[in-house]
Structure formats: structure tokens, C-alpha cells
Structure 1
Amino acid sequence: MVIWLAYRPPYHWPALLAFLQARAITGIEVVADNVYSRTFAIGGKRGTLGVSPARGNRLQVTFSDIPPNLLPLLTLRVRRVFDLDADLQHIEQTLSRDPLMADLIARHPGLRVPGGWDAFEQAMRTVLGQQISVAGAITLASRMVSRHGQPFDSGHPGLTHLFPVAQAVANEDLSTLGMPRSRANTLTGMAQALAINPRLLAQAKGLENRVAALCSLRGIGPWSAQYLALRYLREADAFPLGDVALVKALRLLEGPETPLAERAKAWSPWRAYAAQHLWTSLSWTGATSPR
């Protein structure tokens, strides 16, 4: 089944694909030949999808092994993950009032904020990424998939598993994956909470309330809460101030004395997009890959 999803230009597909490729979890995601592919389970069914650019300001999405009745739900999911409903012209026009953002937007017009596939997967990715590199976090996530994910004969090279469900890891000792026990306890605590209430992350309304609610969970601090709000809850003004990569990017661009918290005020209410531009800037300043 093939569908085409429209968006309002501009859209910087190469930057978005590079972001996904750097974070591709072995077994569930593959980026090759300008296509992002992954496995998924939804509505009691499992399948694969592939997303690639198409003519006419559209993305082409190819699904396999899904009944037609799940197409509306999957379409909404893909639109969120690939940030297809953002009005980038308006966002960039507003951000460009700041000279730094104007320069970054000129380098990468149409830069989108990729979303998380689902609540549990994004929660696990976020906790695994606490205080370590992207490569380190993806290594741990790939081990989790190998040990606790469901094998899946997708017929697609490299797509061999489904991401674990919350119930599969809720009572496991995840420190055996190679992480501190405190972080492993946070992972299992999140898994237990999401197994009981899959809508736990989205219950509060408004960025401040959502961040406060997330921070009430064991092991979730301001960085993790803001990052979850940015990636999964699609809060356009979410901004993880304690992010080492954001601090590093701003220092490289404006000098070591530039205060991130103060500068970020100028980018509201689109600070999530400002963060994406700062993270992306590290790829051409020669610094370490961002989260």
C-alpha cells in the first residue's frame, strides 16, 4: 500500500534523514538509498513502512502487512514523526528576527523537528540518552531490542525485530545492558508506569504542566522532561536547557560566555525548532554529533 502525504514547503529532507540515520536502532530501523524504513506494531497488527521524498511537496510512504482500517491511524503517526503539519514559513520568519537563527535557517531552510514513534519507545530512547552520546544510547537501545524485542520476519533486510512493549521490560534488570543501575531502575519504572497507563505522558495540558508532571516520575529531570515534550508531545516551545550539545553549539557560534537560557528567550514560542537548528549546526562546525 502506497500513499503520498503533503506538506507546506520548505522541507529539509537530507537533514531529517541524517538525524534519523544517526539514531537508527539495529533491527527496527534502516536508512538506505534515501529511504527511512522501520518495523511497527499497531492495533494488534505488525508491519513495516518506508518513507522517501516525492515530487510536489510530498513524502511517499509504503506500508506492508497492514489492513486498510489502520491506515488513518498510521497516517497520523507518520505525519507527527516527520513533522508534516508545521507551518515552516511562519516559524522561520519569526525565528529569523534573531540574527543567529536567521543565519542558521539560511543554511538549513525547512529544518523539521522529528517526533517520536510512540510514547514507550521515545521514553526509553530519552532515558537511555541521559548523559551519554548518541552512539552510546543507540548501542544500548539496540541491545534492548535484541534481548527483549519480538523477532519479526519482515522480509526487509535489516528489519528483524519489533521494539519491546512496556510489559516485556517492566520486571527486567536492564542494568545487564551495560548502564548504571539508577538509569536501569528509571527505565523499568517508566515501563511499569506506561504498562499501566499508556497515555501517561500526554495527560497534562500545556508545556509547563507537562514538564512538571514528567518531572514527578522517578529518574526524570528537567532535561528528560523537556526532551520528551519536544520529541513526543510536539511542544513547539520545549527547550532542554541543560543539554550539553546545545550549550556547546551556542558557544561555538557566539562565544564561550554566551548564556543559553538568556539567548533562548528570543526564540520563543518556537524554541524546539531553534534547538534543532543548534543541534544541526554541530555537523558543520566539526563538533560531536548532537542528541
Structure 2
Amino acid sequence: MHTDREACLRAVAAKDPRFDGWFFVAVKTTGIYCRPSCPANPLAKNLTFHPSAAAAQQAGYRACKRCRPDASPGSPEWNHRTDAVARAMRLIADGVVDREGVPGLAARLGYSVRHVQRQLQAELGAGPLAIARAQRAQTARLMIETTDLPMTDVAAAAGFASIRAFNTTVAEVFALSPTELRRKAKGRPLTSAPGVLSLRLPFRGPLFPDNLFGHLAATGVPGVEEWRDGAYRRTLRLPHGPGIVELTPPQNGELPITGHIPARLRLTDLRDLQVAINRCRWLLDLDADPTAIDHTLAADPVLAPLITAAPGRRVPRTTDGEEFAVRAVLGQQVSTAAARTHAARIVAALGEPVEDPEGGLTHLFPSTKALADLDPETLAMPGSRRRTLAALVSALADGRLDLSPGADRVTA
């Protein structure tokens, strides 16, 4: 969209938050970049448009302190597209570049490093390292502003190779040193318990929370998920250890145009912060474009009144593709209650135990390796369904079926 200057100018003039994350606005005279909805009023002749925050940063622009463009919802394109660029963006969001480098990213995509860099540069105005750097900067900002961790710990947890690289990146992106960022955030509640962070997940409105959180509460697997004190809680399998997330739906009784989902994360290792955030965003479908979706669905005369009554419906997803597939097979039971019962038995027998000081969560959902040891005959299901489950687990275990964020959905 950033190449259509007139459309971008219209979005900026309207201060339309629906376009936040679709493109970024840079102001040549101030050297900052913003969301399209930023309340500032720069002259149109001074504006340039960029497809990503990383591209704006590479062009020498700093994040606006007023609208915080680095905290915009993500582009909905990466969730539904199946091409290599979209797969790369999903993998970068899942921390692959930080853990495996650009060669690891390229290997997962099945392309050369040069090809991946060329494709991302052409569409997003930045290569994989720059995009991962922008993500690290946002992770660092979250920890600087919401914890009292020493800066050396923040730098390591955010994925920076050195404190010098951390200081330089934060200063270049936010035009403030890490210490200045924390000082400006003074007065915000800090996380008191080690490894726990309180943050807000932005979404592109409107959002209808009832069906989203209602589904999660109704289908939750005991031990892995629970509804407690008005919030959905679940365990997370993360690269550096287990985690627990608590997600609270909007409480104002209205359908917000834009807003945030309050989240609390208890992590074994803070290096998993950005991965956990992105998996929670995927779970709640927070990067969707609900206006476009509602417009399409409302063209159906049967669906139109439902959309009018409850705009902004989301499709509940998952934090783990393999878990989702197994639960889909179990979900073919005669009732949701029966499916939850079977899943709970599998979790109790094969899941990895976790500690939950604040609730009743007890396990991670079993890994594919653990599920490979499951005897389907022990499950009170029809024989055909037991065979389906065994075939699914076998395909996941030996790699014939890939359900990771960067999977090729055409061949999966």
C-alpha cells in the first residue's frame, strides 16, 4: 500500500487507525516516523511512506514518541499469504533469526540467503537482519518500561549481542538512551515478580470479544488452559522453557474501534518475550483487518445482520500448530466435553509439568515426541479416529507434516 501515495495521504488525513501497521509515515523535516493515525499534522509535501518500521529505521528515521509506531498492530498480510515473504515474516516474528541467524531462516524457507534478502528488501524495504533488529528494539522497550531489570539483562533478553549494540540501537530507534526511556516511563507499574511482565497487545478494531474468549473458555483443556477471575490463562511451549500467559478481554462493554488486550506473561526465560507475544497475537487473531472482513461477510444476506450486531469477530487460533492439529482430531468426538476429557487425560499422562503460583495450570500440552509414545488403543474413541490420530502424530514426528509458523501451507 505504501506505493499508493494518494491512498496513504487520505489515510493520514483521516487519522485512520485501521491502517496502523499497513504502512509507516516518515516526516523528512523532523526525522521521525509515525503511524498513519498519529495526531501530528505534518505537511503532505514532507511525507514519505515505508512498508515496514525496519525500512523507516534503515532510512534514518526515529520512532515518534507520541504515537509509538513500533507498537502498531502487525500487517494482516503475513497471516493469510502463503508466499516466501509472508513465511519469512512469520518466522522472524517467531524468533528464528535471533536463534538461528539468516542462514537458518533461509534453510527453513528452502531458499538461498541472497534470495531471501533480495525478496524481503524488494517488498519491505529492509532485509531480515534489519527486520529482526526492529523487533528486538521493541522487545527491549517493553522490558525497559515495564520491568526494573538491569539494562545488561534487558539487552541479553532482547537478543542483543552486546550492551553496546543495545545502547546504540535503542538510541537510534527511539532517540533516547535506555536510561532515559525508563525515566520517562516512571510512574507506570513495574513488574515485581521475577520473570513476569504486564503489557498490552494492540489490535486493529473493531473487536467483538465475546465469541473469541467464549470459545477459548468453552474448549479449554484442563491443566493447559483455564478461565479464572475474568481472564483466559494457558501454558506456552517456548524455545527456552515453558511460560504462562493471562489474557483479559475488554471490560467496558463497548465495541472499541481500537484498543489493547491486557496480558501478563510469566516466562522461564525473558529471551522468549517477543515469541510469546507474537504467539498470543496469533491466538487472538489481533492482526486481522476486521473492517475488510466484515465488508466481505456482510455481502451475504444471511450473515449481514449478524455482522451488524457484532462487528469485529475474530477466529480463535492457537499458540502451537501441532497441538491444534491433535486437538482437532480429538474434537471430532460427540461433544466438546468428551473432547476436553480425552485431551485432559493425554495431558496428564504425557504433558510436561509446570508450576503456576497464580492458578490451576499444571502442564504443557504434550510434545510430538511425547505423543509418539501414546497408545491410541487406550483412548475411548472409534477405531478410525484412533488410526487418524496415530497417523497424524507419526507425520508430525518424522517431519512429513510441517505446521510451524513458516510452513509452506500449499504443501502442508
TM-score, reference length from structure 2: 0.48
- The answer to whether the 8 Å contact 1:171/1:188 transfers is no
Q: Secondary structure at the match of 2:247?
A: strand
CA distance in 2, matches of 1:108, 1:24: 23
Q: Deviations over 1:94-115 (max 9, x none)?
A: 2111211111112322110011
Q: CA deviation at 1:133?
A: 2.0
CA distance in 1, matches of 2:386, 2:399: 20
2:319 to 117, 126, 135: 117
- The answer to whether the 8 Å contact 1:17/1:34 transfers is no
Q: 1:87 to 1:18 in 2, by over 3 A?
A: same
Q: Deviations over 1:171-192 (max 9, x none)?
A: 3212313112332222222222
Q: Secondary structure at the match of 1:99?
A: coil
- The answer to whether the 8 Å contact 1:47/1:66 transfers is yes
Listed as ranges, the matches of 1:23-172 within 5 Å are 23-53=219-249, 57-130=259-332, 132-172=334-374
CA distance in 1, matches of 2:307, 2:336: 24
- The answer to whether the 8 Å contact 1:41/1:47 transfers is yes
Listed as ranges, the matches of 1:194-209 within 5 Å are 194-197=396-399, 200-201=402-403, 203-205=407-409, 209=410
Q: Secondary structure at the match of 2:403?
A: helix
- Tell me the C-alpha RMSD between the 2 structures: 2.0
Q: Which amino acid aligns with 2:236?
A: F
CA distance in 2, matches of 1:196, 1:166: 9
- The answer to whether the 8 Å contact 1:11/1:111 transfers is yes
- Match of residue 165 from structure 2: none
Unmatched 5+ residue regions in structure 1? 214-291
- The answer to whether the 8 Å contact 1:119/1:198 transfers is no
- The answer to whether the 8 Å contact 1:128/1:137 transfers is yes
1:18 to 203, 208, 214: 214
Q: CA deviation at 1:131?
A: 5.1
Q: Secondary structure at the match of 1:200?
A: coil
Q: Deviations over 1:4-63 (max 9, x none)?
A: 111111111122111111101010101122211011221030121101135861011111
Q: CA deviation at 1:195?
A: 2.1
Listed as ranges, the matches of 1:171-182 within 5 Å are 171-182=373-384
Q: Secondary structure at the match of 1:81?
A: helix
- The answer to whether the 8 Å contact 1:170/1:189 transfers is no
- Match of residue 8 from structure 1: 204
Pairs aligned (count): 208
Q: 1:8 to 1:198 in 2, by over 3 A?
A: farther
- The answer to whether the 8 Å contact 2:283/2:316 transfers is yes
CA distance in 2, matches of 1:124, 1:91: 28
Deviates more, 1:168-177 or 1:5-14: 168-177
Q: 1:131 to 1:27 in 2, by over 3 A?
A: closer
TM-score, reference length from structure 1: 0.66
- Match of residue 186 from structure 1: 388
Q: CA deviation at 1:198?
A: 8.4
Q: Which amino acid aligns with 2:240?
A: G
Q: Which amino acid aligns with 1:104?
A: L
- The answer to whether the 8 Å contact 2:203/2:259 transfers is yes
Unmatched 5+ residue regions in structure 2? 1-196, 253-257
Q: CA deviation at 1:199?
A: 6.2
Q: 1:199 to 1:68 in 2, by over 3 A?
A: farther
Q: Deviations over 1:221-256 (max 9, x none)?
A: xxxxxxxxxxxxxxxxxxxxxxxxxxxxxxxxxxxx
